[in-house]
Structure 1
């Protein structure tokens, strides 16, 4: 799988580094949609996401490590959050599974498409 177009040479694809947790649901020239799943106590190795929107499918707690910073996050089900491009690793520190969808942005907007709206 190719790295998103707006990623730099340090791109470490979470689907490659953590395939037991990340699964590609959709991929085209503009976005890649990932499903993330883990269980309490599971950890991820360092990886990078481009600019993304994360949608939580269930409530969960995580400890995230970004560079030399470590912080805890508590998220409720149904939240949508903007995530700027970042490298991190994480750990499920709660007592519930983590379930989330990531919509990773790949490229700047293209010229308007004259095709009608609808599924592709």
Structure 2
């Protein structure tokens, strides 16, 4: 299984909050930057700034994504390599879900 992005790309990912329910990451990079292959559990992503990104999945499939500032998406668990293919830095906040909420 792919590793934690904070381990593989600690220069781009920073943990800003963690508890037994969620882990909140800040991710920043520059045009042309790529990550190592890594894994995220299900997550919510908030785009702080606009950016374009290619996501390469383990099977080789490439997905092109473009975000505007303020865009929010949900994604199921995913292993990928990310590359900033635009002209602007990437800046996102990701909330990784850990476990179902306790009653």
Q: Same fold (TM over 0.5)?
A: yes
1:77 — aligned with what?
69
Segments of structure 2 that go 5 or more residues without pairing to the other structure are none
1:104 — aligned with what?
96
Q: TM-score, normalised by structure 2?
A: 0.96
Q: TM-score, normalised by structure 1?
A: 0.83
**Alpha carbons of 1:92 and 1:56: their partners in 2 closer, same or farther (altered >3 Å)?**
same
Instruction: Select the residue among 50, 75, 86 that pairs with 2:78.
Output: 86
Number of residue pairs aligned between Structure 1 and Structure 2: 102
Alignment RMSD, CA only? 0.8
Whether 1:55 and 2:46 are equivalent positions in the alignment is yes
Rg bigger for which structure?
1
Q: Match of 1:19, SS? A: coil
Moved beyond 6 Å, runs of 4+: none
Tell me, yes or no, if the aligned pair for 2:2 and 2:37 is still in contact at 8 Å: no
Segments of structure 1 that go 5 or more residues without pairing to the other structure are 1-9, 112-120
Q: How far has the Cα of 1:11 moved from its partner?
A: 5.0
